[in-house]
């Protein structure tokens, strides 16, 4: 979450730098006399509003992803496999076959097998939760990579624009 917010800040600063570079470009290079009556100011205010809406939407998305992550962690630690359509199996009841007596050893084995089954079910639930978390983090990493490349491109463009202006 912190990385994506920093990327948001970088994109915001890059947009601000682009607006300031455009303002510098409007000034006369030798006398620094401003040129009035440009519609670019109106355009930049619309862009700022649009950027604010995008930031609010991303913030809501971050919060939703955090809630989903916390829910997956609760399900994994509780041993439930909610979201995958299964529940923890209960210990198998002592089924008796007619004419066959169960002794204490067989009862203990049934109990131990039930415990193993419950443990394996919890492990499965945790592995499924880990899988879901890794998948969501992969999506997040892809989004971060794409946004970082965009922000880097904006910063590079602004730097080149200012260099050309100063020449």
The per-residue pLDDT for range 24-73, each reduced to its tens digit, is: 776 655 544 455 555 556 666 777 788 888 888 888 888 888 888 888 87
The per-residue pLDDT for 41 is 60
Tell me which residues of the chain have a pLDDT lower than 70: 1, 26-44, 79-102
- Give me the pLDDT at residue 117, please: 94
d(CA 48, CA 53): 9
**pLDDT for residue 146:** 93
Q: What DSSP assignment string belongs to the chain?
A: -HHHHHHHHHHHHHHHHHHHHHHHHHS-TTT-PPPP--THHHHHHHHHHHHHHHHHHHHHHHHHHHHHHHHHHHHHHHT-BTTTTB-PPPPPP----TT----HHHHHHHHHHHHHHHHHHHHHHHHHHHHHHHHHHHHHHHHHHHHHHHHHHHHHHHHHHHHHHH-
């Amino acid at each position: 979450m912190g990385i994506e917010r920093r990327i948001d800040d970088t994109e915001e600063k890059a947009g601000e730098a682009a607006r300031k570079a455009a303002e510098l470009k409007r000034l006369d290079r030798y006398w620094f006399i401003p040129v009035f009556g440009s519609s670019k100011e109106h355009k930049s205010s619309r862009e700022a509003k649009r950027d604010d809406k995008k930031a609010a939407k991303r913030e809501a998305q971050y919060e939703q992803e955090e809630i989903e992550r916390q829910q997956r962690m609760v399900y994994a630690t509780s041993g439930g496999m909610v979201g995958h359509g299964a529940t923890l199996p209960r210990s198998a009841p002592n089924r008796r076959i007619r004419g066959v007596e169960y002794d204490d050893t067989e009862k203990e084995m049934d109990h131990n097998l039930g415990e193993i089954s419950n443990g394996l079910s919890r492990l499965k639930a945790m592995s499924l939760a880990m899988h879901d978390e890794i998948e969501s983090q992969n999506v997040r990493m892809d989004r971060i990579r794409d946004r970082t490349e965009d922000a880097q491109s904006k910063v590079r463009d602004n730097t080149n624009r200012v260099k050309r202006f100063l020449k």
